[in-house]
Amino acid sequence: MECDESQRDVNAFPTPEFTLVTPGDMRYEALCHAYNYRFVAKPDYIMLARSPRDVETAVRAAVVAGKRITVRSGGHCGEDFVAAPDVDVIVDMSPMSKVSFDPERGAFVIEAGATVGKIIRELFQNWGVTIPCGFCMGVGAGGHISGGGYGPLSRLLGLSVDYLHAVEVVVVAGDGTVSTVLATREENDPNRDLWWAHTGGGGGNFGVVTRYFMRFPDAAGSAPGELLPHPPNALHIAEVSWPWDELTEADFVRLVGNFIGWQLANSAPDSPDVDIYALLNCLHRSAGDIAMHAHVPEDAPNAHARMAAFLAALGDGVGAAPSVRRRSLPWLAATRYLAAPETGPFAVTLRCKVKSADLRGAHTEEQRATAYRHLTGDDYQTMYSALEYIAYGGRANTVPSSATAAPRGALLKSFYMVVWHDVADDDRHLRWIRELYRDVHATTGGVPVPDETHTGAYINYADVDLADPRWNTSGVPWHTLYYGDNYPRLQEVKAKWDPRDVFHHALSVTRAP
């Protein structure tokens, strides 16, 4: 990389075309809300950015005026990292949503406001390629990729950041100078540490991401269709449900144990079943059923027979007979079919709380029985409350933990979520999920302390309770749970690239002492 590219001249960008939305504008109230209605900001204004120059303009104005600035791409943050009470300026990146190919760099360009759904669709329709990412289609690239990025293809392909070639970031120097920096994975790039920090360090820490550049780390040639992996042509999908009224506690403990055990035994990168992905959704009893969806590439060897064997292994020793539906769909249709809902009564105006724990060993029978008691309590009901176990491992663990900011080593993810709509119900739903999580991890201070069972938690499922001594009594700090041994290096990057702490939130990286 030539020196003149590391500090890009703002005049090289298009004339500012941003939109400012202020109180009194009919759009203001709508744009103060995002995905999680628990948090509503009341900023002085919201800037809808359309170029890196727009972002520079917003950041520079905020720094000069001493205003607190936050950034939103898809708006799916589970905590108030964007919509905090003291926020003065929100930079909304949603207008910057292009997915394109840069022939000069030989890399795909994903703007920070592009949603996962758009990324999957445009990469496939235009070039027949993909990146491993989630199936929550409204999540924005800005936070998803910077937090590591995983999804149903991660066992086969790794993490989103394993394909991150470069990142373009608007940063603020110690003297207040605002500039746009390009940081690449190249060993001789003086900005490489900033690239590394965006391979799992999470959003809102170092600057404003405007664009990601994606390609294979060892990419050769210039044909776009060969610079990122190809998705499966089609997926063979199994949808399974077990009725709660037929499940005993012993059945539940056995079913979850079977799922965890199978995943741990088949998550090595060279496992013949590493291409089978599954998500076991242990919904509260009031929902009626426990559900699971699984899929395998349709054209993989013995795909249907291996899926049948997996389903049989899940049911071993479980008294309740499941309902099973199996079908095959082309790749793009399958991604839409399996996507989390983004519209309708469930998804709009929701209030939610999420938690996570990454596993490399099995939850004990006692932990599974604890989950059963919380999931079957007659004194609690809601529209959606669940503990999910999600297949992981495989190629995601072929990269050393120090090579990216995202720690490695987990073979299975667990995800806790509760959703409701009425503000009057906040306390009881928050109490339910907090007590479930605390009790499942009771032997390690209420949190998944890295040990023989857990590797920690996932920063994109942000949870401020991990920094709260009322809910984390382990003595292990929140940043160890999220970043492990990588946190000191992240602190060094923070001190270098955001020395004024312009970008911060409740779980942001702090500067090294």
Structure confidence by residue, pLDDT tens digits, 302-311: 999 999 999 9
Largest CA distance in the chain: 68
User: Around Cβ 61, how many Cβ atoms within 10 Å?
Assistant: 15
Over range 375-403, report the average pLDDT.
94
What was the pLDDT predicted at 100? Answer: 98
What was the pLDDT predicted at 332? Answer: 97
Three-class SS state of 397: helix
Residue whose tokens read 């242990």: 282
How confident is residue 46, by pLDDT bands cut at 50, 70 and 90? Answer: very high
What was the pLDDT predicted at 1? Answer: 32
Percent of the chain with pLDDT over 70: 97
In which region does residue 288 sit, left (phi positive, over 0), alpha (psi from -120 to 50) or beta (all else)?
left
What was the pLDDT predicted at 406? Answer: 97
Report DSSP state, residue 221. S
Give the separation between CA 465 and CA 471, rounded to whole angstroms.
Answer: 6
For the cut 90, the answer to whether the pLDDT of residue 140 exceeds it is yes
Q: Residue 216: is it exposed, middle or buried by C-beta count within 10 angstroms (0-12/13-18/19+)?
A: middle
Sheet bearing 412-420, strands edge to edge: 323-330, 234-243, 289-297, 277-283, 384-391, 412-420, 351-359, 454-456
Which tokens hold the place of 438? 């605390």
Q: Residue 411: is it exposed, middle or buried by C-beta count within 10 angstroms (0-12/13-18/19+)?
A: buried
What was the pLDDT predicted at 329? Answer: 98
pTM of the model: 0.95
Task: Write out pLDDT tens, residues 177-225.
Answer: 999 999 999 999 999 999 999 999 999 999 999 999 999 999 888 899 9
For the cut 60, the answer to whether the pLDDT of residue 2 exceeds it is no
Across the chain, what does the average pLDDT equal?
Answer: 94
CA angle 33, 132, 295 (to 5 degrees): 100
Over range 390-406, report the average pLDDT.
97
| Element holding 292 (H helix, E strand) | strand 289-297
Which tokens hold the place of 159? 């993490």
Task: Write out pLDDT tens, residues 407-432.
Answer: 999 999 999 999 999 999 999 999 99
How confident is residue 13, by pLDDT bands cut at 50, 70 and 90? Answer: very low
What was the pLDDT predicted at 5? Answer: 42
Percent of the chain with pLDDT over 90: 91
For the cut 50, the answer to whether the pLDDT of residue 10 exceeds it is no
For the cut 90, the answer to whether the pLDDT of residue 6 exceeds it is no
Sheet bearing 45-48, strands edge to edge: 19-21, 45-48, 89-92, 69-72
How confident is residue 3, by pLDDT bands cut at 50, 70 and 90? Answer: very low
What was the pLDDT predicted at 9? Answer: 39
Q: What string of DSSP letters covers 41-86?
A: ---SEEEE--SHHHHHHHHHHHHHHT--EEEESS---SSSSSS-TT
Over range 284-304, report the average pLDDT.
97
Which tokens hold the place of 167? 């990142």
Task: Write out pLDDT tens, residues 81-136.
Answer: 999 999 999 999 999 999 999 999 999 999 999 999 999 999 999 999 999 999 89
How confident is residue 16, by pLDDT bands cut at 50, 70 and 90? Answer: low
Over range 235-252, report the average pLDDT.
98
